[in-house]
Amino acid sequence: MKRFFYFFTMILSYCQFMACSKDNLEGFGLLENNPVQVIAEGGGKDLVKTNDYVQVPMKVKLSSPASKTFDVELQLNTDTVTKLIGSGVLKDVVTLPNQAFSFPNVVKFQYGADTASFLLTISRTEIERVYGKKFALSYKLINPGKGNQLGNPNSVIVTLDSKSLLTATDIHYLSVTNTPGGIILASKHNNYETTPSGIEIPIGVSLASFPSKWFYVEVRGTRDSIPNWITKKILPANTIGLQDNEFSLSSRIQVAGNKSSANFNIAVPWDVIAKNKDKFLAVTVYLKDPTLHVIDPQRNYTTILIDCANVVEFDVTGEGTLTVNRDNDGGPNAGEGSLKLVDNRTDTKFLQGGFTGDLQCTLTFTRTLKIGAYTLTSGNDEISRDPKSWNLEGSLDGTNWVVIDARTNESFPNRLETRRFNVQKPGSYKFYRLNITENVGNRLFQCSEWRMIEFL
């Protein structure tokens, strides 16, 4: 048995050095004692490339024409390649997983023919992952029909050069969309969106070349590089890396079919920002393990840097004194009186009867402050009572007013739904007045909560 293995190894080594190459496809024949000599060839000039695979036309030749029509089964034989690479017989090549390849189960030889063809289909992603290298596969011929006999060994090894199958511009690289390899600074209302619960920094993943079928890519956040970046003065000295429980980030992003990008956000709560209001917060977001395609190693990450001093917001509603020009029939302290509008509870509400579109709700503060956003929460009752159109005014003296935000045809599809509105023309004022000019159509007006948010 050992002598046979030694003889087999020597024959394969000889074949490797003596095999002919055609279009970077190297065929390794069977032993000559096989009654049917089989040689694998390839026609590289007729490659077919799609988003998902590369097809290579392959030929199987007989040493003499077939005396009758018969089939020969094809079977993948990855173990052979792995062993030959491990023993050093096959050098400077890698192997690909079984699922990277597909080809017909059988090859049919027609009567009188000495050649048959089939298409070897190779996963484009797997070629991209080993781009620049050669890779080998092995298949063996089994169960020839019509009494034909195959000798041993019956494996065929084919070596392919990835550079002959794809060019560098063909590679479907995945990268971070926003400032790949750089820093996204969230400060002074740039590069982030505000929500009632915190801020969200938009990021994204982009696919180079043409769109693909749908696939997933993993997303992670890490603070490991932050200390080194501080030492190198890339980040400010008072930067703190975000802990895992201080931000939220989708762990898996789906890129839809026929799309080249997908968007996602990293969210940081207000309490995390508030407790670090004199510092910077940082986290590096990176891509990993796509189900298709390969990640660009130079553009697979971006670092979020949050300037807390210029991002932090404060709910200052409680500092103001509320008055309204039309109140609930029971007065401001009634169960649904106007004070329920600013009691910081969404399970209560302000209800005003006989609504005519001239309701004014005024908050008076003891200091001037800059309101950058406000929220309204719908009531628990009929949607027709919800606010639809309004404007927000600011004043320094309570007499001269400036419209700083105006909304029309707004809606609250859900009950007790809180919506945030960023002020269109923020300024510093002492008096703020919300003028409700239209509800959805009811003679009653309702609103569960009105909150005012100060920007520093």
Last residue of a domain, one of 121, 140, 170: 170
pLDDT tens digits, residue range 311-333? 888 889 999 999 999 999 999 99
Q: Where are the alpha helices (DSSP H) in 232-320?
A: 270-275
Phi, psi of 326 (to 5 degrees): -135, 120
CATH number at residue 233: 2.60.40.1740
Mean predicted confidence (pLDDT) in 240-269: 95
Q: Is the pLDDT of residue 4 over 60?
A: no
Is 256 found in the same domain as 321? no
Q: Which residue do the tokens 């895992």 mark?
A: 244
Beta-carbon contacts of 10 under 8 Å, excluding residues fewer than 6 positions away, are none
Residue 126 sits in the same domain as residue 190 = no
Residue in 138, 115, 219, 143 with CA at minimum distance from that of residue 174: 219
Q: How far apart are CA 450 and CA 456, in angstroms?
A: 20
Let me know whether 162 and 194 are in one domain: no
Residues 277 and 326 in one domain: no
Residues 256 and 294 in one domain: yes
CB atoms within 10 A of CB 261: 14
3-state DSSP assignment of residue 397: coil
Which amino acid does the sequence have at 44? G
Count structural domains, the chain: 3
- For residues 287-298, give the mean pLDDT: 93
Q: Which whole number is the average pLDDT over 1-24?
A: 36
What is the residue range of 357's domain?
Answer: 315-455
Residue type, 37: Q
The contacts of residue 11 (CB under 8 Å, 6+ apart) are 31
Residue 196 and residue 111 share a domain: no
Residue 330 shares a structural domain with residue 434: yes
Nearest to 393 by CA among 422, 367, 426: 426
Same domain, 449 and 355: yes
> Is the model's pTM score more than 0.75?
no
Structure tokens that stand for 188 in this block = 């002074």
Among the three residues 149, 170, 191, which one is the final residue of a domain in this structure? 170
Residues 352 and 431 in one domain: yes
Q: Which of 10-24, 59-73, 127-141, 215-229 has the highest mean pLDDT?
A: 215-229
pLDDT of res. 51: 78
What is residue 141's three-state secondary structure? strand
3-class secondary-structure state, position 229: helix
Separation of alpha carbons 328 and 427, rounded Å: 31
Are 301 and 351 contained in the same domain?
A: no
**Confidence class for position 272, pLDDT limits 50, 70, 90:** very high
pLDDT > 80? residue 5: no
Q: Looking at the structure, do residues 411 and 341 belong to the same domain, yes or no?
A: yes
- 3-17, 65-79, 236-250, 355-369: least confidently modelled range: 3-17
Which residues have C-beta within 8 Å of that of residue 405, sequence separation ≥ 6?
A: 374, 391, 392, 421, 423, 424, 425
Which of residues 128, 145, 170 is at a domain's end? 170
Using an 8 Å Cβ cutoff, are 183 and 302 in contact?
A: yes
